[in-house]
Amino acid sequence: MRLTVLTATLIALALPAFAEGEVNLYSSRHYDTDERLYSEFEEKTGITINRIEAKASALSERIKAEGKNSPADVFITADVGRIWRAEQEGLLQPVTSELLNEVIPEHLRDPGNHWFGFSQRARMIFYAKDRVPEPPTTYEELADPKYKGLICARSSSNIYMQSLLASIVAHHGVEEATEWAQGLKDNLARQPQGGDTDQLRGLVSGECDIAIANSYYFSRALRRDVRGLSADVESIGWIFPNQETRGAHVNISAAGITKHAPNRSNALKFLEYLASKSAQEYFSSGNDEYPVVAEARLSESVEKLGEFKTDTLSLRELGTHQREAQKIYDRVDYQ
């Protein structure tokens, strides 16, 4: 899981010298713990952060409507599919940063440097220990008929499910991905519903024996009380899939500088700050995510899950195959 080598010099570069002015963030991350990120940046740089939070789609539409007069400097999303769409729609500009290219693994950033991943989470398999003696160890096995009626998963409209299927398209092609989607649908214990935490709660309630969820939803339940989950976490086992082959599918929170950023220099300082050791550790301690920078320490809750082999497929591929993934779900009538 430790993916880069970060030198002391680069750590220093990630913490900008004292500056002034402002930077305007359009963010679809809605985590209260991110306040620590913003306050530290302001303290270290003297740059004031102005923030607008909404769903990524609403923010994208706002940037389009504002055009050249948009005050947005940085666009932040909680999934690579959303940042990829923004890049495809011409809302982001390429960034030249030796620091970001050095410390952020190649597969976690746009080849054209329009966006960069700053935190990551694995799409994991969870299971009821007392009811599943031989849990699936790969994504492919989730479609095996022996797990018929056992699985809880989110709906096809969810970006995480779209990205997972997009990764299967990238690795196996449309035909095999379609067979996988059909098999997963056949193995569902209930109609897709709720968020990732609801899939994990399904294990506790007995509605399902196997669940698909992002790592940080479970880590959060290890760190603090999550209703309907934390009291029973000891009954749940977890798998980082495909450790003997390509590695576990990951997704990211990502950010890029907008095309017409009025405070471009400060925007770049902010992106480089997000790659600093302290900011990376906030992502882990505050929101139970995996850092993207090697030397950043894992929080206790994340460390309990352990490190793992990561699928190094370029995350740009997830955006490229996202529409096809939705078509496949529709084709097999996966709700």
CATH number at 107 reads 3.40.190.10
Q: How high does pLDDT run on average in the chain? A: 93
Predicted confidence at residue 270, as pLDDT, reads: 98
Work out the pLDDT band at 115, boundaries 50, 70, 90.
Answer: very high
**Is there a single domain that holds both residue 95 and residue 106?**
yes
Angle, alpha carbons 76-213-152 (nearest 5°): 135
- For residues 294 and 7, the answer to whether their CB atoms sit within 8 Å is no
pLDDT of residue 49 exceeding 70: yes
Q: What is the pLDDT of residues 255-305, one digit of tens each?
A: 999 999 999 999 999 999 999 999 999 999 999 999 999 889 999 999 999
**Is there a single domain that holds both residue 230 and residue 261?**
no
pLDDT of residue 11 exceeding 90: no
pLDDT of residue 33 exceeding 80: no
**Is there a single domain that holds both residue 236 and residue 324?**
yes
Work out the pLDDT band at 30, boundaries 50, 70, 90.
Answer: confident
pLDDT of residue 57 exceeding 70: yes
Domain of residue 293 covers 8-120+252-297
**Is there a single domain that holds both residue 141 and residue 210?**
yes
Is 115 part of any domain? yes
**Is there a single domain that holds both residue 137 and residue 201?**
yes
Predicted confidence at residue 119, as pLDDT, reads: 97
**Is there a single domain that holds both residue 174 and residue 132?**
yes
**Is there a single domain that holds both residue 154 and residue 116?**
no
- For residues 76 and 261, the answer to whether their CB atoms sit within 8 Å is no
Work out the pLDDT band at 34, boundaries 50, 70, 90.
Answer: confident
Sequence-distant (≥ 6) Cβ neighbours of residue 191 within 8 angstroms: 335
Q: Using CA of residue 47, residue 30, residue 325, residue 206, what is the dihedral sign?
A: positive
Q: Using CA of residue 321, residue 322, residue 323, residue 329, what is the dihedral sign?
A: positive
Predicted confidence at residue 19, as pLDDT, reads: 53
Specify the pTM: 0.91
Work out the pLDDT band at 10, boundaries 50, 70, 90.
Answer: very low
- For residues 136 and 244, the answer to whether their CB atoms sit within 8 Å is no
Work out the pLDDT band at 215, boundaries 50, 70, 90.
Answer: very high
**Is there a single domain that holds both residue 145 and residue 262?**
no
pLDDT of residue 13 exceeding 50: no
Percent of the chain residues topping a pLDDT of 90: 90
**Is there a single domain that holds both residue 288 and residue 326?**
no
Q: Which amino acid is at 178?
A: T
Residue 156: count other Cβ atoms within 10 Å of its Cβ: 20
**Is there a single domain that holds both residue 106 and residue 198?**
no
Average pLDDT on 49-58 reads 96
